[in-house]
Structure 1
Amino acid sequence: MEFDLGLALGLVLTALGAAAGAVLLSGVLRSRADRRDGAIFLDPQGETVFLFDGETLLDATPGARALLALSPARGGAWLRLLAYLGPRFPGVEARITELAGHGRLTLASSDENEPLLLQAELRGGVTRITIEAPSGTQRPRLDHLSQRALAEELDQLRNTVANAPLMMWRENASGDVVWANAAYLKEAADRLPPGEDLSWPLPRLFERAAAAQGASGQRQTLDRAEVTRWFDLVGFPEGEGRLLFALPADSAVQAEASLRDFMQTLAKTFAHLPTGLAIFDQHRKLALFNPALLDLTALPPDMLALKPTLFSFLDALRERQMIPEQKDYPSWRRKMLALEKAASSGLYEETWSLPGGQTYRVIGRPHPNGALALMFEDISTEMSRTRRYRADLELGQAVIDAMDEAIAVFSQAGQLVMTNTAYAALWGHDPVETVEAGGIGQLCTHWSERTAPSPIWAEAERFVTSLGERPPWNAEARLTDGRLIACHFSSLTGGATLALFRATRPDEAPARDVSPALRSA
C-alpha cells in the first residue's frame, strides 16, 4: 500500500513538471514571436512591405516583389517602385524625401475605385514602405493557376508594348510622363548629356500641346544630330491623364513636300501657258486653273476660287456667252453631260464658234483618280488665217480656171498639185477624181496615149524630176483627134514645175510660141 502511494505521488509530480514545462515553453515561444513581429518574412497578413536603404532594396515581402515585377518601368527596384506609385500617389517621391524630418507619413491613392494606402517610416536609416488596402475593403484573392495565367498574359502584353517600333507614353493630369515604353525610353536616354541617367518623372520629348488641348492628332518634330524627324501624335483620354503614341511621319512629310513642290512647279508652268486650263477632281469640283482661263472666259477670280462644280462652271460660261448658243436649255444640258462623259474617256475635242466672233478649241482629257481636265485655246487668229488662206487658194483657182490654156503644176517630187478646168477638158483627166494619176510618170503615159508618138513626153518627165535651175522649153504634140498642142515647160520657185498646154484646131496655124500671159505665168 505504501508502495502504491509513492508511485502515485511520482506520477503527479511528473505531470506537474510537464505542465510547467509546457507553460514555460509557450511563454518563450510567444516572447520570441513578439520579438520577431517586425520581420517582414513572417507577416501573416500578406502585406506588401519594402525595406530600402536609400535607393537600395534590402528586403521585401513576396507580394512586394511581385509588385516590382508588375511595374512598367525598367531599372532598379527604387525606379520600378516609383513607376508604380507615381500615377497612384502624386508627388510620392518628394514626400518620401521628407521622411528625415517627419519620420512617418501616410498617403491615400487618387483612384477611388481601387483605393490604396501607403505608409512610410524611417527606422534607423532604413525606409520601410507598406502598401495596403484601407480597412473595410476586401481585396480579391486569386488561386495559383489564375495568378499564373494573368502573369503570363501580362508578360506577353509587356513584351508587345516594349518591342513596339513606335514611342508610347502616358501623361497624368499635370502633364508629367509617368510611363513609357522601350522606344520612348531609348530616345530619351540618347538625348541625355553624358553621364546622366533617366530620372522620375521621365523627360518630355514632345511639346504638350496635343495633350493639353485634347487634340486627337498633331504633327511635331524631333531634332538630333542635324536630322529632323517628323511624328504624328495621337492621344486618347485615360482617366485624368492621356495615353499618347508617336507615329513616324517622315515619309508622309516628304511626300507632301514633293507634292507641294510639284504643284508649285505646275502652277508656275500653267501660269505662262496661253491655253486656259481647268482641272476638276473626281467629284467634278474645280481643283486647279491658270490665269489664261480668266482671260479667255472672263470669269471672276473669286468665283473660280470657290471651286465650283463642272456644271456650275459651264453655266457661268453660258451666262457670259462663252459657249456656242443653243436653241433650248435642256438640250444644252444634255450636251454638257455628253461632254463630261466624252472627256472622261479622252474623246472630247470640239471647236466652239462664239457669238462674239471668237473661236475656241476645247479639249477634254481624263486625269488619274477620276479627275478631268478641260483646255481652252483661242484659235480665232488661226481660223482667220486659215480662212484667208483658203480664200486666196479659191481665188487663185478661180483665176487659173478662167484661163484658156490648160495648166498643170508639179511639186519638186513630181506630184501633180494643181490643174485648171481647161486641163481637165483638154486631156479628159480630172486629178481630183483619179488620185492614182498624180505622178509625172503616170501623166506622161496618159498624155502619150492621147497623142501621136513623140519623144517630148519622156523629155518632159526628165525635166520635171530634175533638180536645180532648168531653162524653159517649148514643144508641140498632136492629139489623136488631129489638134495640135503647143507645150511649154518652165521651173517655178521651190523646185516646182509649170506645164502649159494650148490646143489649136486642125485648120488653124500652129503657134510657135506661147502667149505672154503663159510666159509670165
Structure 2
Amino acid sequence: MKAVVIEDLLAAVAMVLTATLVALASLALMAAWQMRRPCRTSSIFSAQGPAAAFLFDGDRLLDATPAARSILPEGEDGGALSRLIGTLGPLFPGLSQALDTLPRAGLIVIASSGDVQPPLVLKGEYLRGLTRLTMIQAAGDGQPGPGDGAVLAALQHEVLAQRVILARSPVVMWKEDARGQVVWANHAYLIRATELLPDRQDLSWPLPRLFQTTEPSGGRTPRISLQARSGLEWFDLFRVSAGEEVLHYALAADAAVEAETALREFMQTLTKTFADLPIGLAIFDRSRILQLFNPALADLTALSPEFLISRPTLSAVLDAMRAKAMIPEPRDYRSWRRQVMRVEEEASAGHFEETWNLPGGQTYRVIGRPHPNGALAFMFEDISSEMLRTRRYRADLELGQSVIDAVEDAVAVFSQGGQLLMSNLAYTRLWNHDPAVMLSDAGIGTLSAWWRNHSAPTLLWDDAIAFVAALGDRAPWEGEVRLLDGRLVTCRLRSLPGGATLITFRARASEAVVPVRDDIRSLLSA
C-alpha cells in the first residue's frame, strides 16, 4: 500500500514538472515571436478615433493620426503648428487669432469658409498645457460626419491652391518624360509656345519644346534666348530630376543680360580709353599679379607685350625694368623694392609718388594708388619734356637774374598787386638788405617803410606807393631822396607790361659823400 502511494506521488510530481516545462517553452516562443515583430510607433490616438487629429506642446508636434500627418507639410516637428496654420489658414478664416485665445477659452470651434466643399469644422482644445486640434466633416444634419471627408477636402484645397500658384507663376516651368517629350507645362510656358506656332494652328500634345538645349555645359547653368513677339527674351535654365521625369525651370535673365552687356560695353570703352592714354597703367591684384595694362606701359618700360600678357608679379616687373635700365639704380635695391611693394600699407599716411631720373636721360613720374579689395595701380608718366621746360625756365630766370645783377643801378620790379618780383645786387648794397630773404612779405608797403627809415623825410615814398597801386597807363616820373649817410639818390618809376612797375635807384657819384652826424640823423629820423 505504501509503495502505491509513493508511485502516485512520483507521477504527480512528473506531471507538474512536465506542465512547468511546457509553460516555460511557450513563454520563450512567444517572447521570440514578439522580438521578431517590427517596431511600431505608438500613438495616443486609437485607430477608431478621428481621421485628422493633432496634439501639440506649444509649437511642437507630439502626436498625430496618419490621416493628419498627410495634411501637415513636411518639416521638423518643432515648427509644426506654424506650418499647419499656414496650410489650414485659407480653409478656416481667423484660425491664427482663434488659437491665440485658446489657452484662455479652453475650447474653440471654427467652421470652414463657404467655398470649401464639403464643409469642415475645426475643434481646438487646451488640455493641461497641450493643444489638441481635431478636423471633421460637418454633416448635412449638423452632426459630425466621417473624418476621411475632412482630410480629402483639405488635400483637395491644397491641390487647387498649388495649381493656381503654378498656373499664375511668371516663371516658365515644364516637365519632360524619359523620352524628352513635354508632358506638363504651366501657363507661362503655354503662352510662349502659342506665340511660336504658325498662323491658324493650335497647341496639341505632346507640347512643342521651347528650348532645344537644356543640358548644362561645363558645369554652368545654360542661358538661352527665345524670340517672342515682344522681342528677344533670355532665360537661365535649371533641371531637377524627379524619378524618370525631369522638371525644368526657365528664370528670366533679361536684366542680367542687359547689365552684362552694359558692363561689357563699358569695359570696351574703358579699354579703348586706356589704350589711347599716354600714361602707362599697370593694375595688380591683391596677390600682386599684373591683371591689366595698356600699350603705353610697354612703350615706357621697354617691356615686351608677351612678358606683360604672361601676368608677371610686381617683383618680376621691377626686376625686368631694372634689367633694361628703366628704373633709377638705388644703392640698396632690395629695400627699395620692398618699400614699393608696401605702398598699400603706407597709403594710409600718404600716396606713393616718386620722380625717376633714368640713366638714359628720361624722367618718369611714378604714382601708386591702392584700390579696393587689396588691388594696386601704378601709373608711369614721361615728364622729360616738362622737366626740360622747367630746367630751361629756371636757367632763363638765373640768366635774367645774372643780367640784372650786372646793372649798376639798383633795380626793384613790382607786380600789379604791389608784390616784389625781382631785385638786383646793387639794390642790396644800396639799401643794405636783401628782400629775397623775406620775399613773401616784400610788398611795396613793407619796402617803402624800409626806405623811409633809411632816408631823410620826404613824400616821395607815398607817391611811389600810389604809382605802383594805380591802374591803367601811368606816365614815368622821377624824384630825389637823401639817404642818412648823406648820399643823394635819384629814383625813377616807370610802368611795365602787365601792370608791373620798375623802380631804379641811382646814387649821384659826382657829389662827395658827407656823413650825417648822429644828432642830425636822429633829428631827420624824427
TM bucket (normalised to shorter chain) is: 0.5 to 0.7
Determine the C-alpha separation between the residues in 2 that align with 1:341 and 1:211: 48
Letter in 2 for 1:298: A
> Residues 495 and 377 of structure 1: is their aligned pair in 2 closer, same or farther, counting only changes over 3 Å?
same
Partner of 1:476: 480
1:448 aligns with 2:452: yes
Output the CA distance in 1 between the equivalents of 2:339 and 2:219.
48
Q: Mapping of 1:280-291 within 5 angstroms?
A: 280-291=284-295
CA gap of 1:214–1:489, structure 2 versus 1, over 3 A, is closer
Task: Check the 8 A contact 2:171/2:251 in 1, yes or no.
Answer: yes
Structure 1 residues 54-112: Cα deviation after superposition (integer angstroms, max 9, x where no partner): xxxxxxxxxxxxxxxxxxxxxxxxxxxxxxxxxxxxxxxxxxxxxxxxxxxxxxxxxxx
Structure 2 CA distance for partners of 1:247 and 1:308, relative to 1, 3 Å: farther
- 8 Å CA contact 2:420–2:439 kept in 1: the answer is no
**Alpha-carbon offset, residue 222 of structure 1:** 1.3
* Aligned residue number for residue 255 of structure 2: 251
Distance 2:319 2:155 in 1: 69
Query: Paired residue for 2:179?
Result: 174
Q: Measure, in 1, the Cα distance between the counterparts of 2:290 and 2:225.
A: 34
User: 1:451·1:479 contact (CA, 8 Å) conserved in 2?
Assistant: yes
Asked if structure 2 preserves the Cα contact closer than 8 Å seen for 1:344 and 1:366, the reply is no
- Cα distance in 1, alignment partners of residues 403 and 414 from structure 2: 18
Quick one: structure 1 residues 392 and 280, their matched pair in 2 at CA, closer, same or farther if it must change by over 3 Å?
Answer: same
Q: Which residue of 1 aligns with 2:189?
A: 184
State the match for 1:364 in structure 2.
368
2: CA distance, partners of 1:362 / 1:344? 18
Secondary structure of 2:236's aligned partner: strand
Partners of 2:323 and 2:462 in 1: CA distance: 67
Q: Displacement, 1:360?
A: 0.8
Deviation at 1:153, TM superposition (A): 6.0
Q: Does 1:204 align with 2:209?
A: yes
Which residue identity is paired with 1:199? Answer: S
Letter in 2 for 1:166: V
Match of 1:188, as an amino acid? A
Q: Does 1:486 align with 2:495?
A: no
Q: Give the Cα separation in 2 of the matches to 1:346 and 1:202.
A: 67
Report the AA paired with residue 447 of structure 1. Answer: W
8 Å CA contact 2:414, 2:502 repeated in 1? yes
Measured against aligned partners, the alpha-carbon deviations of 1:18-55 in whole angstroms (never above 9, x if no partner) come to xxxxxxxxxxxxxxxxxxxxxxxxxxxxxxxxxxxxxx
In structure 2, the residue matched to 1:56 is none
- Sequence identity, in percent? 56
Q: Distance in 2 between matches of 1:431 and 1:492?
A: 21
Q: CA contact under 8 A between 2:215 and 2:222: conserved in structure 1?
A: no
Tell me how far apart the structure 1 counterparts of residues 312 and 269 of structure 2 sit (CA, whole Å): 24
What is the CA–CA distance in structure 2 between the aligned matches of 1:471 and 1:316, rounded to whole Å?
66
Instruction: Map 1:265-304; keep pairs closer than 5 Å.
Output: 265-304=269-308
1:5-404 correspondence runs (5 A) = 158-193=163-198, 196-207=201-212, 209-211=213-215, 216-225=220-229, 227-239=231-243, 242-342=246-346, 347-368=351-372, 370-404=374-408
1:428 maps to: 432
Aligned partners of 1:176 and 1:317: how far apart in 2? 63
**Cα shift readout 1:462-514 (whole Å, capped 9, x = no counterpart):** 3323344444433221011212112222333333222121335795389xxxx
Taking structure 1 as reference, are residues 211 and 238 closer, same or farther at Cα in structure 2, changes over 3 Å only?
Answer: farther
Q: Secondary structure at the match of 2:465?
A: helix
One-letter amino acid matched to 1:242: V
1:404-419 alignment runs, 5 A limit: 404-419=408-423
CA contact (8 A) 1:169 1:181 kept: yes
Deviation, structure 1 residue 149: 7.2
**What one-letter code is carried by the residue in structure 2 that aligns with 1:206?**
F
Residue 237 of structure 1 contacts residue 243 of structure 1 at CA under 8 Å; is this kept in 2?
Answer: yes
Residues 164-223 of structure 1: per-residue CA shift (max 9 Å, x gap): 33112223343222222332233323444565443221111112x233969642111111
Aligned residues: 368
Contact 2:192/2:228 (<8 A) preserved:
no
Closer/same/farther in 2, CA of residues 287 and 344 from structure 1, 3 Å limit:
farther
Distance 2:254 2:349 in 1: 37
**Does 2:443 align with 1:439?**
yes
Deviations 1:395-428 (A, max 9, x none): 3223333444322111122211111233223223
The answer on whether the counterparts of 2:420 and 2:444 sit within 8 Å (CA) in structure 1 is: yes
TM-score using structure 2 length: 0.62
Q: Distance in 2 between matches of 1:226 and 1:151?
A: 37
Query: Structure 2: how far apart are the matches of 1:298 and 1:371?
Result: 24
Alignment match, 2:138? none
Q: Distance in 1 between matches of 2:480 and 2:371?
A: 66
The answer as to whether partners of 1:482 and 1:506 remain within 8 angstroms in 2 is: no
Distance, in Å, in 1 between the alignment partners of 2:239 and 2:333 is: 54
Counterpart Cα distance in 1 of 2:161 and 2:410? 103
Question: Match of 1:210, SS?
Answer: coil
Matching residue's letter, 2:341:
L
- Tell me which amino acid in the other structure corresponds to 1:203: P
The separation in 2 between residues aligned to 1:312 and 1:367, in whole angstroms, is 21
Alignment RMSD:
3.2
Which amino acid in the other structure matches residue 302 of structure 1?
Answer: E
> What do residues 307-331 of structure 1 show as CA deviations (whole Å, max 9, x unaligned)?
3344433333233222222333430
Going from structure 1 to structure 2, the CA distance change for 1:282 and 1:181 (only over 3 Å counts) comes to farther
SS in 2 for 1:423: helix
For the residues of structure 1 that align with 2:198 and 2:428, how far apart are their CA atoms?
102
1:420-442, Cα deviation, whole Å (9 max, x unpaired): 23322322333233346422233
Q: Take 1:479 and 1:214, find their aligned partners in 2: how far apart are those partners?
A: 97
Matched residue type, 1:233: L
Distance 1:507 1:193, change over 3 A: closer
